Amino acid sequence: MTVSSPAPRSSSTTPRLLALASLCVVALGILLLLRPTSPTVTVPESLESVADWVIIHVDVTTVLAATTALAVVSMVRNLHYGIGAILMLGVGANLTTAALGSWITDAPTTLLPSGHVVAAAALYGSAVLVSAPRWRPVVIGLGISGVAGVCISASAAEMSGIFGVIAGLLVAAAWGCAAAVLMERSPIAAQREALRADTAVVAFSRHRSIHL
């Protein structure tokens, strides 16, 4: 008699990533449909100059330089899918922001996704996707601080309202989930998954059946 153990359950996070991306799209649609009025953000005059400096330096040149650096990191780490993920996240998020600004012409600019926030969040997501595991906590910590600084600066410099900042984060999050799904399909990621430690029973049943 042959007894076959059940196949191990997949640990793929793709369904959860796709669900999160869908949730971000729905939330963005509701935000643009309801069009709430963004509250006024008042900051001390001493911080306005800092906010202006941050916004000025988050420009096309900075974004392209950071994107190129992340692509180099991907090549050095042999993450060929990483380059595709970086392009998907960066180009997709920024084109979506531009498209929404062109299509929704009757919405206030303070409600539309902030381009500065989208650019910063997309770079942060790309860095997390291609960073080495040992450096990932540092990248996450510094990235969150940087994105938070850009969000506050965009509101303080009156480049965007609070809901415009939230819309920008939703756009970047949706594309970030799509890029993470691509990275999950990377052969390198598959090799790491295959090398993950299993229990003796699961490892044995993966390759053969138990003959009695």
Please report, for the chain, the start and end positions of each structural domain, with discontinuous segments joined by +: 11-211
Beta strands 2-3 and 210-211, pairing class: antiparallel
Return phi, psi of residue 141, to 5°. -65, -50
DSSP single-letter state for residue 212: -
Q: List, in sequence order, every residue forming a beta bridge with 210; answer none if it has no partner.
A: 3
Say how many C-beta atoms besides its own lie within 10 A of residue 12's C-beta: 12
Question: What tokens were used for 42?
Answer: 């008042």
* Alpha-carbon span 103 to 194, nearest angstrom: 45
Per-residue pLDDT of the chain (212 residues; tens, 9 = 90+): 444 444 433 447 889 999 999 999 999 999 999 988 877 767 677 777 888 888 888 888 899 999 999 999 998 888 888 999 999 999 999 999 999 999 998 888 888 999 999 999 999 999 999 998 889 999 999 999 999 999 999 988 877 889 999 999 999 999 999 999 998 887 655 455 444 444 333 333 444 444 43
Distance (Å) of CA 143 to CA 7, 30, 136, 138, 197: 38, 27, 10, 8, 31
102 Cα distance to chain centroid: 23
Give the pLDDT confidence score for residue 79 in this predicted structure.
86
Give the pLDDT confidence score for residue 68 in this predicted structure.
92
* Alpha-carbon span 171 to 176, nearest angstrom: 8
